[in-house]
A = this chain, B = another copy of it.
Amino acid sequence: MSDATKDDLLQKPISRRDMLKLGAAGGVGLLLGAGGLTGVLAGTGMLKDSAKAADAQTAGDTVPFYGKHQAGIVTPAQDFICLGAFDVTTTDLGALRTLFQKWTEASAKLAQGQGVGDESGNPILPPVDTGEAMGLNAAGITITFGVGASLFDGRFGLGSKRPAALVDLPAFGGDELQPEWTGGDIAVQVCANDPQVAFHALRNLARIARGKAVLRWVQDGFQRTRTADPNGSTPRNLLGFKDGTNNPDVKKADVADDIVWATQADGANWMADGTYMIMRRIRMRIEVWDRTHLNEQEATFGRHRDSGAPLGEKDEFAPLDFAKQDDKGKLMIPMNSHVAVANMGGKVKIHRRGYSYSSGIDLKTGQLDAGLLFICFNRDPRRQFIPMQQALAAQDKLNEYIVHVGSAIFAVLPGAKAGGCIGETLF
């Protein structure tokens, strides 16, 4: 769209190239961090109707990067994830600080649907932005930064700042962790409604890190897209079951405060308004599962496959009643079912935000290397994720069909205001 007019803009969604032009023409770009694209366009009369605005909001629109908390945590899950862990190669704290400054500035641009630098570029230099997202809209992108326990190992003199809640995860029964899918000094979680937009962001952030940090592992993931499920019902995992029916509603501030956001009282002052992220790469033994009877599958999850309802119920969102018995006095929901064990008496909650992954064939077995890229956020893993995973590792019937092959824990940094820097409370 090389000769964009306002009429064009009325007809067409806004690309990152258009945004650069709008920004250059009227300084509109600066407003986006606060209100998002839809707000700006509605304010300037550039959107025809609220339906288009709603569409943009859920799929192609921008999500503000700056804020009290980082985006991508209580943000409703986008369709795709590109999750990378970095190992830091510099031992200079100043260089690390500079890296986070550059990452913050780049991420704020990416969140607005822009490239990380002048897209036309200087012909006798490498382009600042790698270009594969030119012409694409922001696709709801969020970029979320966390730091691993290894960053506090003495290289940077940060040892005394390690939060008590950023524990080394204990060994869980059944773990078969592979080093190439485990750990990392820094996590960068990119989520978007388009995989090319997500890949572009992680790639450009890795490029900015050159000489200071290198990628340790990268895992892509997906959920059913809005294209295939415009109503946004509960996603199904690759075992065919709805996954996330009973998730706490972290859109409510008090729920998020209770489950997700760290406070000063939780330990390190610098982590207030941050959270803790756990990644588990959980491979599914798909071929074994596919040979299992439906009854057994449903007893494994504790829910009906078709409706997602608790066993014995019809409605997906029916309350879980772990005392309910069938006419022979047998518990409707087995005590070792996934839903029963994970429930933890209703007292322990985490905010899950996972994706499915499919990574081709495992050359050793010839079977599909596919499963769940489990991601959760919680304010204190010692009281939330760890006891829950210990219970699951010990009792969950689902363990017959899954194996945890990757693991990492990160302290997800507090958000930053425009002009500030992610990590400024730590470094």
Contacts and interface: CB of A to CB of B under 8 A. Distances in A.
Contacts of A133: 224, 228, 236
A195 B218 contact: no
A120 B298 CA distance: 12
Contacts of A12: 230-231
B358 A360 contact: no
Interface string A347-386: 0000000001011110100101010000000000000000
Contact of A236 (B131, B230, B293, B356): B131
Nearest to A194: B228
Given A228-B139, A290-B130, A214 B124 contact: no
Contacts of A314: 2
A422 to B, nearest CB: 23
B2 A199 contact: no
Contact of A79 (B218, B227, B290, B292): B227
Nearest to A316: B2
Given A227-B193, A239-B132, A358 B220 contact: yes
A238 interface: yes
Given A2-B314, A134-B236, A219-B360, A59 B120 contact: no
Nearest to A366: B214
A56 to B, nearest CB: 10
Interface in A97-152: 119-127, 130-137, 139
A233 interface: yes
A21 interface: no
A240 B127 contact: yes
A44 interface: no
Interface string A296-307: 011000000111
Contact of A82 (B139, B297, B358): B358
A82 to B, nearest CB: 7
Interface in A208-255: 214-220, 222-231, 233, 236-241
A387 interface: no
A239 B194 CA distance: 17
A363 B123 CA distance: 33
Contact of A195 (B222, B233, B294, B366): B222
B13 A231 contact: yes
A227 B124 CA distance: 34
A127 B195 contact: no
A66 to B, nearest CB: 22
B194 A224 contact: yes
Nearest to A314: B2
Given A136-B229, A195-B358, A226-B227, 12 more contacts: A12-B230, A60-B228, A82-B358, A120-B306, A126-B292, A126-B294, A137-B229, A139-B225, A139-B228, A194-B227, A196-B222, A196-B356
26 contacts: A2-B314, A12-B230, A13-B231, A79-B227, A119-B306, A122-B294, A124-B293, A130-B240, A132-B239, A133-B228, A133-B236, A135-B233, A136-B229, A139-B225, A139-B227, A139-B228, A193-B225, A193-B228, A196-B222, A196-B223, A196-B356, A203-B368, A218-B358, A218-B361, A225-B225, A225-B227
A328 interface: no
A166 interface: no
Contacts of A305: 121, 127, 131
A286 interface: yes
A285 interface: no
Contact of A297 (B127, B135, B238): B127
Nearest to A224: B196
A33 to B, nearest CB: 20
A295 interface: yes
B228 A196 contact: yes
